């Protein structure tokens, strides 16, 4: 029974174009083409653990000392006084202050005292500015490296300049060592983000980001197994470009470099819109949806691959709307040049009495 299930899951009808078998694209010394090895989709998982360790070291040896040098506050918020009953109620419903206030009489406390305890307790769960700076500095460093690496290895690849070559000759398209490393490193990084997300700074868009990471990993895995690595490299390159500015905005804000933050935010709007809602749907998805069926016989796995690309587009549109919302609020406040704020949640975006605008730039992730 298990064998039948495995055979069904790895059916050539599902994963490969018509008249192509697994033996046709299995790597081997006798093959003239260096095909992708499906087993290599598991290689990024241990590499992801190495990324997590590397991040741990860099945050403590490089990013944290650098942040302190820039004067970033590393102090944690003041702790709330110990109160087992309030603590138990808080853990059950951390957002429901009314439930805590209902315990005021039992604890011989006023509602004002309970509300003050609740505010302190909520602040206690928030990470310090230095912790958030280190997280963004790590992601910024990776995206700069990975984008640069992608440009270097793809510069002489024909499909970078003519996307039809992502499909011409498919599936008999060889993978070079540099593309192999580009795929493995990128996949490992998204695996590491998926794992570390559960103890990183908790954001309002936690589940959107989780879906994004899973969709990206699935895309990379599908494209690798089906030998669609060429279109996969273009998607990776396009995403890394905008992500550099996302992390630059937040890191510069935490460091107190307001002018750099504002400049990065303007660059983010231009790069994000041009790549995520411009090039991505009208060039990448257009080619996978229109040009690919004209050049390659379709098969079930390809439709899954293309559906995941469309899922990313939906997330792009949601985050684009949030970016434009923050930009609009900031312009309305009259502070575009010097008062773009970053808080822990997009819901904290407010226009204060002095005309400043607050917003969470993490809502604009990939």
Taking the C-alpha atoms of 24, 30, 36 and 40 in order, what is their torsion angle to the nearest 10 degrees? 110
Tell me: cis bond preceding 171? Omega within 30 of 0 counts.
Answer: yes
What pLDDT does residue 216 have?
Answer: 86
Alpha-carbon gap, residue 284 to 273, rounded angstroms? 14
Predicted pLDDT of residue 226: 87
Cα–chain-centroid distance for residue 270?
19
| pLDDT in single tens digits along all 366 residues of the chain | 666 666 667 788 888 888 888 888 888 787 888 888 888 999 999 999 999 999 999 999 999 999 999 888 766 666 667 767 666 766 666 666 666 666 666 666 777 777 777 677 667 667 778 888 999 999 999 999 999 999 999 999 999 999 999 999 898 898 999 999 999 999 999 999 888 877 776 666 677 778 888 888 988 988 898 889 999 999 999 999 999 999 999 899 888 888 888 889 899 999 999 999 999 999 999 999 999 999 999 988 899 889 989 988 998 898 899 888 888 877 776 543 433 333 333 333 333 323 333 334 343 444
pLDDT number for residue 105: 65
What is the spatial distance between Cα 347 and Cα 172, in angstroms, rounded to a whole number? 49
3-state class of 305 per DSSP? helix
Sequence-ordered list of residues with C-beta below 8 angstroms from that of 295, at least 6 positions apart, any chain: 164, 167, 168, 170
Bridge partners of 180, per DSSP, are none
List the end-to-end C-alpha distance of the chain, in Å, as a whole number: 40
Tell me what pLDDT residue 344 has. Answer: 39
Q: How far is CA 152 from the centre of its chain?
A: 22
- Specify the pLDDT at position 115: 74
**Selection from 34, 288, 302, 287 nearest residue 172 by Cα:** 34
Q: Where are the domains of the chain?
A: 12-69+127-364, 84-124
CA gap 223, 235 in Å, rounded: 11
């Amino acid at each position: 029974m298990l064998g039948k299930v495995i055979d069904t899951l790895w059916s050539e009808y599902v994963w490969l174009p018509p008249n192509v078998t697994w033996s046709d694209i299995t790597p081997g010394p006798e093959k003239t083409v260096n095909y992708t090895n499906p087993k290599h989709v598991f290689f990024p998982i241990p590499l992801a653990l190495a990324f997590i360790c590397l991040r741990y070291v860099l945050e403590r040896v490089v990013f944290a000392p650098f942040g302190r040098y820039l004067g970033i506050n590393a102090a944690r918020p003041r702790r709330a006084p110990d109160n087992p009953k309030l603590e138990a109620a808080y853990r059950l419903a951390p957002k429901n202050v009314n439930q805590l206030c209902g315990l005021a009489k039992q604890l011989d406390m006023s509602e004002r005292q309970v509300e003050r305890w609740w505010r302190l307790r909520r602040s206690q769960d928030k990470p310090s500015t230095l912790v958030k700076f280190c997280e963004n500095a790590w992601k910024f460093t990776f995206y700069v490296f990975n984008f640069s690496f992608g440009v270097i290895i793809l510069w002489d690849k024909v499909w970078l300049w003519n996307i039809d070559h992502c499909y011409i000759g498919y599936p008999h398209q060889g993978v070079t060592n540099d593309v192999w490393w580009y795929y493995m490193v990128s996949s490992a990084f998204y695996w590491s983000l998926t794992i570390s997300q559960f103890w990183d700074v908790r954001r309002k868009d936690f589940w959107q980001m989780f879906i994004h990471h899973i969709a990206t990993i699935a895309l990379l895995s599908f494209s690798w197994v089906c030998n669609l690595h060429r279109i996969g490299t273009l998607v990776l390159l396009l995403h890394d470009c905008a992500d550099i500015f996302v992390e630059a905005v937040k890191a510069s804000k935490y460091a107190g470099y307001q002018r750099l933050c504002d400049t990065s935010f303007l660059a983010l709007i231009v790069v994000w819109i041009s790549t995520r809602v411009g090039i991505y749907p009208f060039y990448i998805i257009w080619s996978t949806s229109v040009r690919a069926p004209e050049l390659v016989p379709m098969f079930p796995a390809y439709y899954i691959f293309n559906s995941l690309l469309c899922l990313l587009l939906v997330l792009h549109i949601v985050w684009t709307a949030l970016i434009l919302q923050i930009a609009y609020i900031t312009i309305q406040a009259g502070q575009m040049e010097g008062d773009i704020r970053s808080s822990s949640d997009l819901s904290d975006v407010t226009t204060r009495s002095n005309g400043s605008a607050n917003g969470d730039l993490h809502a604009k992730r990939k």
